Structure 1
Amino acid sequence: METKTVLITGCTSGIGRATAEGIAKTGAKVIMGCRNIEMANRVRDEIKKSTGNGKIIVRKLDLASLKSVREFAATINREENKLDVLIHNAGIALSLWKKISEDGLELTMATNHYGPFLLTILLIDILKRSAPSRVVIVTSKWYPMGNVDLTSNANPTQFWRAHYNYYVSKYMNVLWTLELDRRLQGSGVTANCLHPGKVFTNIWQANTPRAFYFCMSPVLEKLLKSCDEGARTTTYLATSDEVANTSGAYFKNCRVAEIERSVKDPEKGEKFWKLSEKMVKLGPTDPRI
């Protein structure tokens, strides 16, 4: 991987940080796309020290802001001459309150799907020039608990149940991955998604009552995967020669897993893609996939 460039979103903590460190150990150039620059710079320095890899850079990215996504993509397209792997790791799981982004999108949907969707489109040209290249999308085994109704006039980005929003956004990730694969056939760019496992990350702290979390955290830490364990499948999909020609698949524990029938429908995938283009306000001069 010494000649490769890998972009990872949301890698200041948890699975993302472990992924960044794992990729850095391979010798690849790592671009960290993060919302909190101060924290990202600290993590970058720590990873440099632990891996001996000096090819790690930080760039500002807030996936909940379409403006930030566009500014970030413009920077990457201007500064980089190649991009071998794009890893969509960043994600949130709001627990109690509905929040709306500056673009009028429900915040979980904006961060977990619409921001990554737009970023991929804006970086597709450099990914194609760098082929063979890869897009890796972190989803969740809980995606079947969500769905997207494309048969009515309901806006699937505006659910009121916060926990359900997370499941829907992960369903979107899988639906999007399969449609992305269909559209990238013959381009040399692969697209796969994965479930990292049940991992002990700060999402548990953010979405659990404080007293309960501190009582249960020792138990959760023993029952759940560590962040390093949770990053293994992502790192595998980003680096392994074994999956160089694999695309349109869903992975668990570094192996292909079965996908629910409801996300396999090409007609549904195409409709959802067009909806996503509309929601991110894709313009006439933007790339198309």
Structure 2
Amino acid sequence: MTWLKVTGAALVGSVSALYGVCYFRYHRTRRVCKSSVTLEGKTVIITGGNTGIGKETAVDIARRGARVVLACRSKERTQPAIEEIKKRSGNEKIFFKKLDLSSFDSVKHFAKEFLQEEPRLDILINNAGLAFGSRGETTSDGFDVVFGTNHFGHFLLTMLLVDRLKESAPSRIVTLSSCDHKGDIARPTFDSSALLPKIENNVRYPNLYGYPRSKQANIMVARQLAKELKGTGVTTYSVHPGFVNTGIWNNILSPTLRNLMYPFIWLFCINEEMGAQTTVYCAVEESITHLSGNYFTNCQLAHPSEIHENALDDNLAKKLLDLSFEATGLEEEITDAFTCLS
């Protein structure tokens, strides 16, 4: 019995030590945004800024003195976040404006009101998004609900506001992507065949679906817009925030499974404040303006091996951009959207 107790204690001690080493090695490599840039007199939009990474991003941006617009679906759920952000940042210039990225009508209404009320836009942070949706579930405009929200909704918003960004230059567009854009065997990324016009089971572009493909699209459009907007003073970036311990786990796992997996979630996930660091870095860091269009993670430029080859395909990115203009109803306005670029 004594031998069993000693062996058991040694095993527990060894596992605990290994666990501690793994935690330390993973978390000590996390970088933080050290920029001291202030944003007094600047206006910033953060989509989905009432929870998770978005809220922590809003706190940091607000501390720098910016006027912050939280673009969210519910005023009722956003108001408590506004009060928290004001308290933590000491900045009273935090505002709610209704936006549902799964509805083009909502995006257009938001953009119209914003342009009427706000004379400038210095930073657009496309933070909001869906991680999961039932296959066949669509946005109000007939696209896969995840891809439609994460890509088409943000694309339309960005293009409706691009002229105001140019007028306020130097300005930035920061879009949250994910390392999950690389997909896997069960959830592959897309290629040009997925961009063919098609309607299947009342879903437009049925091969443009799911989280990995939407996150690949975020990277590709950031790269392509950087080229289209070169010389305007508007720079664009896509970011992977890291594996973050947010409320998303409540949607993925049952309470029992979450409790069982919590030690692993705690080990490999960073908190929401740390998860916001790369977004903030790309929004304010002065030394990266020449890196417009690139993909960042852990407050640094991502290594090419961290990016799926399709996400770096310029021809595919151009096709996606053209498709996005058509899908969002902006095709006829493409010339106006990119005025004075040469």
Same fold (TM over 0.5): yes
Residue 242 (structure 2) pairs with residue 197 (structure 1): yes
Report the counterpart of residue 50 of structure 1 in structure 2: 88
Report the counterpart of residue 231 of structure 1 in structure 2: 276
Report the counterpart of residue 321 of structure 2 in structure 1: 273
Counterparts of 1:69-88 in structure 2 under 5 Å?
Answer: 69-88=107-126
**SS of structure 2 residue aligned to 1:123:** helix
**SS of structure 1 residue aligned to 2:236:** strand
CA distance in 2, matches of 1:182, 1:147: 23
Select which of 147, 165, 170 maps to 2:189: 147
Contact 2:135–2:144 (CA<8 Å) still a contact in 1? Answer: no
CA distance in 1, matches of 2:288, 2:150: 24
Counterparts of 1:1-289 in structure 2 under 5 Å?
Answer: 1-94=39-132, 96-145=134-183, 146-151=188-193, 153=196, 155=198, 157-159=205-207, 165-257=210-302, 258=304, 259-282=307-330, 284=332, 287-289=336-338
Structure 1, gaps ≥5 residues long: none
Query: Structure 1 residue 281: deviation in Å?
Result: 1.7
In our comparison, the structure showing a higher alpha carbon Rg is: 2
Report the counterpart of residue 22 of structure 2 in structure 1: none
Higher helix share: 2
Task: Give TM-score scaled by structure 1 length.
Answer: 0.93
State the Cα deviation string for residues 43-70 of structure 1 (Å, max 9, x = none). 0011111111011111000000000000
State the Cα deviation string for residues 189-247 of structure 1 (Å, max 9, x = none). 00111100000111111122332123323541343110000000001111121223330
**Cα 1:285–1:184 shift into 2, 3 Å:** closer
CA distance in 1, matches of 2:76, 2:93: 18
State the Cα deviation string for residues 45-97 of structure 1 (Å, max 9, x = none). 11111111011111000000000000001111111111110000001111555
* Paired-residue identity, %: 38
Query: Structure 1 residue 283: deviation in Å?
Result: 5.9
**SS of structure 2 residue aligned to 1:7:** strand
Contact 1:92–1:203 (CA<8 Å) still a contact in 2? Answer: no
Letter in 1 for 2:110: F
CA distance in 2, matches of 1:243, 1:3: 21
Contact 1:197–1:230 (CA<8 Å) still a contact in 2? Answer: yes
How many residue pairs were aligned? Answer: 286
Query: Structure 1 residue 285: deviation in Å?
Result: 5.3
Please report the RMSD computed on the Cα atoms of aligned residues, expressed in angstroms.
Answer: 1.9
Contact 1:11–1:89 (CA<8 Å) still a contact in 2? Answer: yes
CA distance in 2, matches of 1:157, 1:41: 36
